[in-house]
């Protein structure tokens, strides 16, 4: 299930904190996630999709379904940020993605 959270405290880049809705994409079925995201994007002008590790392909698929199939011509991907972080002490790397979707 999608988790909706208003971005109140995020240690990275500061982006209109009071207005952004962040959706964490997990390993749920992609179409279910896209359908759950649709009403959220309907109420907000901008939605940020975030995923970590093996969930990254799901976030990309959800963004594509929303922008290309469901809201074709009414939404777009504004920005994609990729990052990799090292786990403290272990030396293991974890990739993450942030996809910003906006209504146009």
- Contact predicate 71/64, CB 8 Å: no
pLDDT, tens digit, 9 for 90 and up, residues 38-92:
999 989 999 999 999 999 999 999 999 999 999 988 999 999 999 998 877 777 8
pLDDT at 102 over 90: yes
DSSP string, 45-85: SEEEEEEEGGGHHHHHHHHHIIIIIISTTTEEEEEEEEEEE
pLDDT of residue 72: 86
Total domains in the fold of the chain: 1
61 φ/ψ angles, rounded to the nearest 5 degrees = -65, -40
Q: For the residues 3-27, what does the mean pLDDT come to?
A: 57
Q: Give me the CATH number covering residue 91.
A: 3.30.110.20
pLDDT of residue 73: 85
Question: Structural domain of residue 7, as residue ranges?
Answer: 3-103
pLDDT of residue 86: 84
């Amino acid at each position: 299930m999608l988790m909706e959270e208003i971005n109140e405290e995020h240690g990275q880049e500061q982006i209109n904190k009071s207005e952004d809705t962040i959706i964490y994409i997990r390993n749920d079925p992609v179409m279910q996630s896209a359908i759950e995201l649709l009403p959220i994007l309907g109420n907000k002008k901008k939605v940020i999709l975030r995923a970590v590790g093996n969930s990254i392909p799901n976030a990309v698929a959800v963004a594509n379904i929303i922008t290309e199939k469901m809201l074709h011509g009414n939404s777009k991907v504004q920005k994609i940020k990729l990052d990799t972080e090292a786990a403290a002490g272990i030396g293991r790397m974890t990739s993450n993605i942030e996809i910003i979707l906006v209504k146009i």
